[in-house]
Structure 1
Amino acid sequence: MTNATELVGAVGTFRRTRAQHRAALRTRSTWWRDGWAGSVWVSLLVVVALWVRGGGVEDLSGWASGLTSLGRLTGLLASDLLLVQVLLMARVPLIERTYGQDELARWHRWVGFASFDLMLVHIVTITLGYAGAEPDALWSTAVDLTLNYPAMLLAIAGTVALCLVVVTSVRAARRRLRYESWHLLHLYAYLGVGLALPHQLWTGQEFTSSPAATVYWWGLWALAAAAILTYRVGVPLWLSARHRLMVVGVRAENDTVTTVLMSGRRLDRLPVRAGQYFGWRFLDGPGWTRAKPFSLSAAPDGRTLRITAAHLGAGSSRLATLRPGTKVLLEGPYGRLHDGVRTRRRVVLMASGIGVTPMRALLEALPQLPGDVTLIYRAGTPEDLIMVDELQRLAAERGAQLVLMPGHRPSHRDSWLPDSWAHLSDADALRYLAPDVADADVFVCGSPAWMEMVRGAAHDAGVPRRQIHLERFSY
């Protein structure tokens, strides 16, 4: 009788907490998403207003003046979007918690390409406008603009830096670059942004005629710089100094996967949840300046932090050579793959390969009653499955269902399933493994292609888009 009473009480508490959490999450998320999106549109409208105030509309009456005016407008919009792009990846906590790194990275990419395209239009239209209707004057005009206009050489250097960033951001180029090389080249974006400012303030008609516009523009750039220095430099250094992390254990899960255990001071005050990740820097030699994103593979207990990573590159392979006592710098926590985005009592965790690490932490930490959680774990071969003993123990302790699905994918179609399940459609297999999946939150982590197939299967199985949570770690 006591056990039944306790169970009923637990269910009631769970439901009340869940309802309160869902209401708070929905209100906070909607408000902040609308607020951030609105601020971006307001900044673009202000830029257009500056252009109008500077005579932009009147200048459209003539061919040469119209091109020049259009060039001024596209230059202003390109610069404004460039600052938005910087802010998107500045790790500002409120923006991170609202969108998550996965969505921020997607918007960062699209805003970046839009800004670059506008910048190219700016260069072409300004040059054509200054050359007037004389094609033969194009080259001499370009040379004159470069050599005789204030800060134009700086602007050209910034443009070259931004071109380098954009070229290496194209998917075909990214596939050929190591993460470490791509990350280093991507830092040139900050150089490009900084070199563009003097050119605008010294030659832009909108600023040379309006001190207020100059103050506004300086304010935007100062805000972006402050965000970068605070959240990409200052906060990580403060966290690292406060918690003084160091490696206390290294364990090989197999020949290609390593687990690292770390301990430090006041870890109970670190605002991290199971499923999130940090940027890690291990002070063991060259290369420590580039942070590597690794999810926690165990729920934070206030005393230790644990990560498990596959040897996919130089940074992750180095984990196997770490020694106890190695000091660690951390940046984060990041990511929305945690119980804070949960909207349903039932949860389906879906992992492929090394993507099981945040799912293992979630399995351990999620508030749940027996039967609430199902973990589906895919791998290419049985030997590729890691932490199986831990997963089985946790599933037994928490009353969760664990489904191990090793095996290569079907050769005749794209599928998240192994070949032995190919007689079922992706959605039918998901419904078979989790019959009430349409009324569950689905957390997904694995390779980008595999996650997209799982997303499609979940959608076809009736799971609303808002109940599907995934995070990409590809660059």
Structure 2
Amino acid sequence: MMTSTAPPPATVAGGPRRATPWWWRDAGGVAVGLSLLVVTALWVANRGLQALGGDWPGALDSLGRLTGLLASDLLLVQVLLMARVPLVERSFGQDRLARWHRWTGFTSFNLMVAHIVLIAVGYAGDARVNVFGELWDLVVDYPGMLLATAGTAALVMVVVTSMRAARRRLRYESWHLLHLYAYVGVGLALPHQIWTGTDFAGSAGSRVYWWTLYAAAAGAVLVYRVGLPLWRSWRHRLVVDRVVPEGRGLTSVYLRGRDLHRLPVRAGQFFLWRFLDGPGWSRAHPYSLSATPHTGVLRITVKDLGDGSARVAALRPGTRALIEGPYGRLTAEHHTGGPLVMLACGIGVTPLLALLGELRYAPGQATLVYRARSEAEIAFRAELDWLAQRRGVRVVHLLGPRARRQPSWLPASAAGLTDAEALRRCAPQIAAADVYICGPDAWTAAAEAAAVAAGATPRRIHTEQFAW
């Protein structure tokens, strides 16, 4: 097995970054809550509440208007959540944003379905006609409804492929491509709101609110998902310097570029990478930095888990790379000094290895617990030895197949201990430490629960999950 020589600690490419203000999170939550209140207020101002006291077709129509407004608002909030807005991303982190994105997506979809059903039944009751016939007339005769129907079909496809059972059957590349149709769905829904939505065009205040929200969502996507990545890729001109096998199914890629000292990246963060190496380059893949970012070089380490990750091993020196990011809150800004405990599973060791090179700690204060299925899957032995010898990091390997009791972060060989007991033995200082955890979804959740049970302070536990 080949391993890389551990680099000495170096200046972080982006330099020091002040901690994210605590009130940013509260401000974000308040903004979302206010948007829903504004939408409800606009509905009330347009006699939505009074209509509930009338005949049943009018009441259903009014409820249909409200569910449609809430669905549209949450759909745009969903777009903003994943638009990679730096203020939002730094405040909440991609893990939490992805969970909220999923929750708002399913909630918005359910409200949209309710909107369609309520409006169709209400209109049919008012006209005393068949519901399905009325629905057909709505789609065919009303302005913008054909486009809205196509947008709904796109959103249905996105929702179906976002269900866990479907995601398990899809490659990441296919899922990511299908997920982009959500933008198509949002765009196709707009015309029918403009042309037939009384709550959209019924007043100057409604028009200002909705156009502002649509413009903010579209602008955030164009600026932060398109413009900023293109600018950073052009400015820093990253190219593959060399490709190094690290062990079974692991490959490290070293990249050089221009003015990397101005790239605002911290150890523990990740980029979305596109390598210009042929067909399929347009599909981005999230890879964390696996070494403390130096002023002249970046390193990622990739596990062979699919088509995109497998082709990384075949990259040639000189291949251009496009980047989107950096993203992630698993950084040094959370460290308040004192003991450190890091829990890694498999490829999840990569951001923690980078962090161990940047964080400040005294010899004996840092413990890395590295979970792997076998000796052959342990990567970066030379670097771990260097950190142990030069910086006094205590490295604990937990090897073997998963424990039969689930959920558990332990191997089967530790079956005689509870999750918390095993963690206290591996890291006696856990109760006073900042805890960094990175690994697969279920494993990370089990390790986090064990850390809390072992006495760690919840607000000092920092996680990054390798999932999509």
Q: Please indicate, yes or no, whether the TM-score normalized by the shorter chain is above 0.5.
A: yes
Pairwise mapping of residues 156-235 of structure 1 onto structure 2 (< 5 A)?
156-235=149-228
* CA distance in 2: counterparts of 1:344 and 1:174, whole angstroms: 40
Deviation at 1:328, TM superposition (A): 0.5
Counterpart amino acid of residue 60 in structure 1: L
Deviations 1:37-82 (A, max 9, x none): 1111111111111111111111112201000000001000000000
Pairwise mapping of residues 333-412 of structure 1 onto structure 2 (< 5 A)?
333-412=326-405
User: How many positions carry a matched residue from both structures?
Assistant: 452
Q: 1:151 to 1:436 in 2, by over 3 A?
A: same
Structure 2 counterpart SS, 1:444: strand
| 2:44 corresponding residue in structure 1 | 52
Deviation at 1:253, TM superposition (A): 1.1
Deviation at 1:93, TM superposition (A): 0.3
Deviations 1:308-350 (A, max 9, x none): 0100011111110000000011111000111112234211011
* CA distance in 2: counterparts of 1:473 and 1:405, whole angstroms: 19
* CA distance in 2: counterparts of 1:379 and 1:197, whole angstroms: 49
| 1:459 corresponding residue in structure 2 | 452
Structure 1 counterpart SS, 2:130: helix
Q: Percent identity?
A: 58
Deviation at 1:417, TM superposition (A): 1.8
* CA distance in 2: counterparts of 1:32 and 1:324, whole angstroms: 42
| 1:15 corresponding residue in structure 2 | none
| 1:280 corresponding residue in structure 2 | 273
Deviations 1:99-154 (A, max 9, x none): 00000000000011110010011000000110116775212211211111110001
Stretch of structure 1 that moved more, 403-412 or 150-159: 403-412
Deviation at 1:433, TM superposition (A): 1.5
* CA distance in 2: counterparts of 1:395 and 1:43, whole angstroms: 51
Q: What TM-score, normalized to structure 1?
A: 0.93
Question: Runs (4+) of structure 1 moved beyond 6 Å?
Answer: none
Q: 1:210 to 1:362 in 2, by over 3 A?
A: same
Structure 2 counterpart SS, 1:274: coil
Deviation at 1:472, TM superposition (A): 1.5
RMSD: 1.5
| 1:122 corresponding residue in structure 2 | 115
CA contact (8 A) 2:247 2:378 kept: no
Structure 2 counterpart SS, 1:322: coil
Structure 2 counterpart SS, 1:402: strand
| 1:416 corresponding residue in structure 2 | 409
- 5+ residue gaps, structure 1: 1-20
* CA distance in 2: counterparts of 1:158 and 1:411, whole angstroms: 45
| 1:265 corresponding residue in structure 2 | 258
Highest relative contact order (Cα 8 Å, sep 6+), 1 or 2?
Answer: 2
- Counterpart of 2:238 (choices 241, 245, 262) is 245
Structure 1 counterpart SS, 2:465: coil
Residue 87 (1) aligns with residue 80 (2): yes
Q: 1:283 to 1:381 in 2, by over 3 A?
A: same
Counterpart amino acid of residue 308 in structure 2: G
Structure 2 counterpart SS, 1:470: strand
CA contact (8 A) 2:57 2:126 kept: yes
| 1:17 corresponding residue in structure 2 | none
* CA distance in 2: counterparts of 1:331 and 1:207, whole angstroms: 35
* CA distance in 2: counterparts of 1:94 and 1:434, whole angstroms: 34
Pairwise mapping of residues 67-82 of structure 1 onto structure 2 (< 5 A)?
67-82=60-75
Residue 43 (1) aligns with residue 42 (2): no
* CA distance in 2: counterparts of 1:219 and 1:472, whole angstroms: 34
CA contact (8 A) 2:348 2:466 kept: no
Counterpart amino acid of residue 192 in structure 1: G
* CA distance in 2: counterparts of 1:473 and 1:436, whole angstroms: 26
| 1:7 corresponding residue in structure 2 | none
CA contact (8 A) 1:243 1:265 kept: yes
Counterpart amino acid of residue 351 in structure 1: A
| 1:151 corresponding residue in structure 2 | 144
* CA distance in 2: counterparts of 1:355 and 1:116, whole angstroms: 33
* CA distance in 2: counterparts of 1:42 and 1:414, whole angstroms: 38
Stretch of structure 1 that moved more, 410-419 or 461-470: 410-419
